[in-house]
Amino acid sequence: MNDRLTRSLLNVGHAIDHMFLLIFATAVTSIATEFGFQNWEDLMPYSVAAFFFFGVGSLPAGKLGDQWGRRSMMIIFFIGIGVAAIGVSLSQSTIQMAFALALLGAFASIYHPVGIPLLVQGSTRPGWTIGINGLCGNMGVALAAVITGFLVKFFGWRTAFVVPGLVSIACGVLFALYASRESAPPAKRKSAESSVPAASIARLLFIMTLAATTSSLLFNFSTSSNFELLSDRFLAISRDPARIGLLLGVVYAVASLAQLVVGRMIDKYPLKPVYLWIVAAQALCLALATQLSGWAFYAIQFVFMATIFGAVPFTDAMLVRFVDDSIRSRVAGMRLAVSIGASSLAIFLIGPLVKQAGFTALLWVMAITSVATFAVILNLPSMKRS
């Protein structure tokens, strides 16, 4: 993968993927008001299908990416997710919205098992490549807060889906016209001999899937609740979606830089100890956040989001090192189907949990999830840098 435009569009695709999944969570208060809900928490379960299909859709997406072609699947991703977002904006009932969000999640499922393997093909510094890509993905999280907050305040929540949808469709057209073409689907290329025993790979993938599941739970808990969480801890500005979106966008933008640091470290140091330190800091900061509010909470939010984002590149880096490119999309799809599908439970639980027990309880659940991730990572084999 040497074409600069292709790499750029793939990185933009990661931003689009994460942004679109969080537009609803950022605009949920305004949507709830229009549809007659007294509490935004009551509307959150309607987005569960989006995250469920975001997970389970990874399995067929990965299979098609390897056997049909990753370039073709990425064109479908860009155009499909854009059309689905516009479909959400046209919803006239909560049921219609749930179906449109489910379709959005299905198209969103294409990116991770297809776009990332396409990006790292032949990369000499996979950690750095994944770090840059992760930064772009988290920029999408930041844009979801800033752009959605602005559009909701001045143009309404429906526009917050339409504008990004049109941008994604335009990216799909550019990708179809200018992105590098594949010589053959990955599954039809000659495979390299693996130096890692099959049993060790099976164990590694099992542990990696468990770690990815707990990490995905934490990622969904945080990114899908941070807007309302920050509003709760900043009561003075909790009714201004543009201002709260800007504050949260700054958190995401700064915290996303952790992915560059982690990407560089992945290329230089063994994965396991670095991963353990990041998750340990994650658990500590989340526990501390339960006791804070105001500007003190805002400060700790920078740190715990940096550790959450910083943990993201590890599983992709392990796939690059241990899994042959000819089956990489399928293996990634299997892992993502389990981890993201299971972590869609977080989206279902956020509303009822916060409504019954408050945001402090949610932060404790997140801290305990970090501890579970730490326990899983302890079972990873020690892996030296390639």
In the chain, what are the domains? 4-179+196-377 (1.20.1250.20)
**Sign of the alpha-carbon dihedral angle for 160, 81, 138, 31:** positive
pTM, two decimal places: 0.77
The two structure tokens encoding residue 109: 């499922």
CB contact at 8 A, 71 and 180: yes
Which residue blocks in the chain are alpha helix, DSSP H?
Answer: 4-34, 48-56, 58-67, 70-89, 94-108, 116-120, 126-155, 157-178, 198-233, 241-256, 258-268, 271-289, 294-310, 313-322, 328-357, 359-377
CB contact at 8 A, 333 and 341: no
What is the reported pLDDT for 386?
44
pLDDT in tens, 335-356: 888 777 677 677 677 777 777 8
What is the reported pLDDT for 383?
56
DSSP letter at 111 equals I
What is the reported pLDDT for 2?
46
* 139 band by pLDDT with thresholds 50, 70 and 90: confident
* 197 band by pLDDT with thresholds 50, 70 and 90: low
